[in-house]
Amino acid sequence: MAMEGLKLVLKDAVKTELSRAAEKFGVLNKNDHESYAIILEEWEEMQDEIENAKYNLEEFWQWSKDNKMYVATERKVQYLKYMREAMYNALAEGIQVIAMLDKAIATEVHNAQPQTFDE
């Protein structure tokens, strides 16, 4: 049940991001190439943040499994904080990925509609 509540919060964040992007760049993409490029850009930014978080987790794990007590607690805490910040950034990028997926879906649906020309 907690996951469903969290997903509702995330869906609201996606709607907010989609509205912000629509104001700045328009409601629809120009074509499939633009949709792909935008999704890919946000995806790669999310992946970069995940890799950053993973690096910090691996460092923490090395200190833990090797029982490196000489590593100061404040240093370990700092790396955990770096990881937390990277994950917030990854989540924000993930929200942007989902928003751009929604924009691409809207573009596809719009483009699939028969075009009528009034004279």
Residue 119 has pLDDT above 60, yes or no: no
Counting residues of the chain whose pLDDT is more than 90, the rounded percentage is 74
Residue 8 has pLDDT above 80, yes or no: yes
Angle value at C-alpha 88, between 84 and 93, nearest 5 degrees: 145
Counting residues of the chain whose pLDDT is more than 70, the rounded percentage is 93
- Which pLDDT score, from 0 to 100, does residue 62 have? 81
Q: Which residue has the tokens 């490196």?
A: 68
Residue 27 has pLDDT above 80, yes or no: yes
Mean pLDDT within 36-51? 98
CB neighbour class for 31 (10 Å; exposed up to 12, middle 13-18, buried from 19): exposed
Residue scoring higher pLDDT (72 or 51): 51
Question: Tens digits of per-residue pLDDT, 53-107?
Answer: 999 999 888 877 777 666 677 888 889 999 999 999 999 999 999 999 999 999 9
- Which pLDDT score, from 0 to 100, does residue 117 have? 67
Domain boundaries, the chain: 30-111
Residue 10 has pLDDT above 70, yes or no: yes
